[in-house]
Structure 1
Amino acid sequence: MARTPRSSPVAPALDRVIHEPIRLGIISALAVNASLSFNELKQRLDTTDGNVSVHARKLEDAGFLSCHKGYEGRVPRTEYKLTASGRRAMERYFAQMTALIEAARAK
Protein backbone atom coordinates (compact mmCIF):
# COMPACT_ATOMS: atom_id res chain seq x y z
CA MET A 1 0.00 0.00 0.00
CA ALA A 2 1.45 3.36 -1.02
CA ARG A 3 1.85 6.03 1.61
CA THR A 4 0.38 9.41 0.97
CA PRO A 5 2.73 12.12 2.12
CA ARG A 6 1.24 14.28 4.83
CA SER A 7 1.39 17.99 4.40
CA SER A 8 3.69 19.55 6.92
CA PRO A 9 4.49 23.14 7.65
CA VAL A 10 7.69 24.30 6.06
CA ALA A 11 10.33 24.99 8.67
CA PRO A 12 11.18 28.68 8.71
CA ALA A 13 14.67 29.67 7.70
CA LEU A 14 16.39 30.21 11.03
CA ASP A 15 18.87 33.05 11.35
CA ARG A 16 22.22 31.32 10.78
CA VAL A 17 24.06 34.05 12.65
CA ILE A 18 22.11 33.38 15.85
CA HIS A 19 21.45 29.64 15.41
CA GLU A 20 24.80 28.54 16.85
CA PRO A 21 25.21 27.62 20.53
CA ILE A 22 27.84 30.18 21.57
CA ARG A 23 26.24 33.03 19.62
CA LEU A 24 22.80 32.14 20.96
CA GLY A 25 24.31 32.14 24.46
CA ILE A 26 25.85 35.58 23.93
CA ILE A 27 22.57 37.02 22.59
CA SER A 28 20.55 35.43 25.42
CA ALA A 29 22.94 36.65 28.13
CA LEU A 30 22.88 40.19 26.77
CA ALA A 31 19.08 40.14 26.45
CA VAL A 32 18.77 40.01 30.24
CA ASN A 33 21.76 42.23 31.09
CA ALA A 34 22.32 45.84 30.02
CA SER A 35 25.91 44.94 29.13
CA LEU A 36 28.50 42.28 29.85
CA SER A 37 32.27 42.29 29.69
CA PHE A 38 34.29 39.84 27.63
CA ASN A 39 35.30 37.98 30.80
CA GLU A 40 31.73 37.85 32.11
CA LEU A 41 30.56 36.29 28.84
CA LYS A 42 33.45 33.85 28.90
CA GLN A 43 32.54 32.74 32.43
CA ARG A 44 28.78 32.52 31.83
CA LEU A 45 29.24 30.49 28.66
CA ASP A 46 32.08 28.41 30.09
CA THR A 47 34.10 28.80 26.92
CA THR A 48 37.47 30.04 25.70
CA ASP A 49 38.75 33.50 24.83
CA GLY A 50 38.88 32.49 21.17
CA ASN A 51 35.26 31.32 21.11
CA VAL A 52 33.94 34.51 22.68
CA SER A 53 36.08 36.65 20.40
CA VAL A 54 35.15 34.91 17.13
CA HIS A 55 31.44 34.60 17.85
CA ALA A 56 31.05 38.10 19.31
CA ARG A 57 32.76 39.47 16.17
CA LYS A 58 30.25 37.66 13.92
CA LEU A 59 27.37 39.12 15.94
CA GLU A 60 28.99 42.55 15.84
CA ASP A 61 29.51 42.32 12.06
CA ALA A 62 25.80 41.46 11.70
CA GLY A 63 24.91 44.59 13.71
CA PHE A 64 23.49 42.58 16.62
CA LEU A 65 26.08 43.68 19.22
CA SER A 66 27.95 46.84 19.99
CA CYS A 67 31.45 46.56 21.39
CA HIS A 68 33.24 49.17 23.47
CA LYS A 69 36.93 48.74 24.26
CA GLY A 70 38.47 50.74 27.04
CA TYR A 71 40.47 50.51 30.22
CA GLU A 72 39.69 50.14 33.90
CA GLY A 73 42.80 51.68 35.32
CA ARG A 74 45.48 49.96 33.28
CA VAL A 75 43.49 46.81 32.61
CA PRO A 76 41.85 46.53 29.17
CA ARG A 77 38.09 45.95 29.25
CA THR A 78 35.79 44.96 26.39
CA GLU A 79 32.10 45.57 26.98
CA TYR A 80 29.27 44.22 24.82
CA LYS A 81 25.66 45.40 24.48
CA LEU A 82 22.77 44.04 22.47
CA THR A 83 21.66 46.50 19.77
CA ALA A 84 18.04 47.20 18.83
CA SER A 85 18.63 45.19 15.65
CA GLY A 86 20.04 42.34 17.73
CA ARG A 87 17.01 42.35 20.02
CA ARG A 88 14.65 42.23 17.02
CA ALA A 89 16.64 39.37 15.47
CA MET A 90 16.56 37.48 18.77
CA GLU A 91 12.80 37.96 19.10
CA ARG A 92 12.26 36.72 15.50
CA TYR A 93 14.47 33.70 16.20
CA PHE A 94 12.61 32.84 19.42
CA ALA A 95 9.23 33.21 17.64
CA GLN A 96 10.41 30.82 14.90
CA MET A 97 11.67 28.30 17.44
CA THR A 98 8.40 28.55 19.39
CA ALA A 99 6.42 27.87 16.20
CA LEU A 100 8.60 24.83 15.44
CA ILE A 101 8.20 23.47 18.98
CA GLU A 102 4.43 23.97 18.89
CA ALA A 103 4.20 22.24 15.49
CA ALA A 104 6.24 19.30 16.78
CA ARG A 105 4.07 18.99 19.90
CA ALA A 106 0.90 19.06 17.80
CA LYS A 107 1.95 15.90 15.94
Structure 2
Amino acid sequence: MRPSGKLHLGNFFGALDSWVKLQDEYECFYFAADWHALTSEYENTEIIKESITDMFLDWLSAGIDPDKSTIFIQSKIPEHAELHVLLSMITPLSWLERNPTYKEQQQELTNK
Protein backbone atom coordinates (compact mmCIF):
# COMPACT_ATOMS: atom_id res chain seq x y z
CA MET A 1 0.00 0.00 0.00
CA ARG A 2 1.32 3.46 -0.85
CA PRO A 3 1.88 5.72 2.18
CA SER A 4 0.45 8.82 0.55
CA GLY A 5 -1.87 10.10 3.26
CA LYS A 6 -4.49 8.97 5.71
CA LEU A 7 -6.06 5.53 5.48
CA HIS A 8 -9.49 5.76 3.85
CA LEU A 9 -12.43 3.43 3.30
CA GLY A 10 -11.09 2.40 -0.11
CA ASN A 11 -7.87 1.18 1.53
CA PHE A 12 -9.77 -0.66 4.21
CA PHE A 13 -12.42 -2.38 2.11
CA GLY A 14 -10.24 -2.68 -0.99
CA ALA A 15 -7.29 -4.36 0.69
CA LEU A 16 -6.82 -4.24 4.43
CA ASP A 17 -9.98 -6.13 5.34
CA SER A 18 -8.90 -9.03 3.10
CA TRP A 19 -5.33 -8.91 4.37
CA VAL A 20 -6.50 -9.50 7.93
CA LYS A 21 -8.32 -12.66 6.81
CA LEU A 22 -5.51 -13.89 4.55
CA GLN A 23 -2.90 -13.84 7.30
CA ASP A 24 -4.69 -16.70 9.06
CA GLU A 25 -4.40 -18.94 5.99
CA TYR A 26 -1.16 -17.93 4.24
CA GLU A 27 2.32 -16.56 4.80
CA CYS A 28 1.75 -12.85 4.09
CA PHE A 29 4.12 -9.99 3.34
CA TYR A 30 2.71 -6.45 3.52
CA PHE A 31 4.77 -3.39 2.80
CA ALA A 32 4.71 0.37 2.68
CA ALA A 33 5.32 1.08 -1.01
CA ASP A 34 7.27 4.28 -0.42
CA TRP A 35 9.15 4.12 -3.72
CA HIS A 36 5.90 3.48 -5.56
CA ALA A 37 4.35 6.48 -3.79
CA LEU A 38 6.93 8.70 -5.50
CA THR A 39 4.96 8.29 -8.73
CA SER A 40 2.16 10.43 -7.29
CA GLU A 41 3.75 12.34 -4.41
CA TYR A 42 6.94 13.50 -6.15
CA GLU A 43 6.25 17.18 -5.41
CA ASN A 44 5.89 16.63 -1.65
CA THR A 45 7.91 13.61 -0.57
CA GLU A 46 7.65 14.51 3.13
CA ILE A 47 4.07 13.21 3.18
CA ILE A 48 5.43 9.75 2.35
CA LYS A 49 7.79 9.64 5.32
CA GLU A 50 5.14 11.07 7.64
CA SER A 51 2.51 8.57 6.52
CA ILE A 52 4.46 5.32 6.95
CA THR A 53 4.20 5.10 10.74
CA ASP A 54 0.54 6.16 10.73
CA MET A 55 -0.23 3.61 8.04
CA PHE A 56 1.44 0.78 9.98
CA LEU A 57 -0.46 1.79 13.12
CA ASP A 58 -3.70 1.71 11.11
CA TRP A 59 -2.83 -1.78 9.87
CA LEU A 60 -2.21 -2.99 13.41
CA SER A 61 -5.44 -1.48 14.68
CA ALA A 62 -7.33 -3.11 11.78
CA GLY A 63 -6.02 -6.53 12.80
CA ILE A 64 -2.75 -7.13 10.94
CA ASP A 65 -0.72 -9.26 13.34
CA PRO A 66 3.08 -8.95 13.07
CA ASP A 67 3.37 -12.44 14.57
CA LYS A 68 1.44 -13.84 11.58
CA SER A 69 2.56 -11.48 8.80
CA THR A 70 5.76 -9.77 7.73
CA ILE A 71 5.49 -5.97 7.54
CA PHE A 72 8.25 -3.91 5.92
CA ILE A 73 9.15 -0.71 4.08
CA GLN A 74 9.88 -1.15 0.37
CA SER A 75 12.93 1.15 0.28
CA LYS A 76 14.62 -0.81 3.07
CA ILE A 77 14.83 -3.93 0.88
CA PRO A 78 17.40 -3.32 -1.91
CA GLU A 79 16.24 -6.41 -3.80
CA HIS A 80 13.04 -4.54 -4.68
CA ALA A 81 15.02 -2.03 -6.73
CA GLU A 82 17.09 -4.80 -8.31
CA LEU A 83 13.97 -6.72 -9.31
CA HIS A 84 12.45 -3.54 -10.77
CA VAL A 85 15.51 -3.00 -12.96
CA LEU A 86 15.48 -6.60 -14.20
CA LEU A 87 11.74 -6.63 -14.93
CA SER A 88 11.83 -3.23 -16.62
CA MET A 89 14.46 -4.54 -19.03
CA ILE A 90 12.31 -7.44 -20.22
CA THR A 91 8.79 -5.99 -20.04
CA PRO A 92 7.50 -4.59 -23.35
CA LEU A 93 6.45 -0.93 -23.26
CA SER A 94 3.12 -1.91 -24.84
CA TRP A 95 2.23 -3.84 -21.66
CA LEU A 96 2.85 -0.75 -19.57
CA GLU A 97 0.83 1.43 -21.94
CA ARG A 98 -2.21 -0.84 -21.44
CA ASN A 99 -2.18 -0.17 -17.69
CA PRO A 100 -4.92 2.37 -16.79
CA THR A 101 -2.90 3.78 -13.88
CA TYR A 102 0.07 4.41 -16.16
CA LYS A 103 -2.19 6.11 -18.71
CA GLU A 104 -3.67 8.39 -16.02
CA GLN A 105 -0.26 9.39 -14.67
CA GLN A 106 1.06 10.01 -18.15
CA GLN A 107 -1.92 12.29 -18.85
CA GLU A 108 -1.43 14.16 -15.56
CA LEU A 109 2.22 14.84 -16.34
CA THR A 110 1.39 15.94 -19.88
CA ASN A 111 -1.09 18.50 -18.53
CA LYS A 112 1.50 20.14 -16.22
Q: TM-score, length-normalised on structure 1?
A: 0.30
Higher share of residues assigned helix = 2
Higher strand share: 1
Comparing both chains, which one has the higher relative contact order based on Cα–Cα distances under 8 Å and sequence gaps of 6 or more?
2
Larger Rg: 1
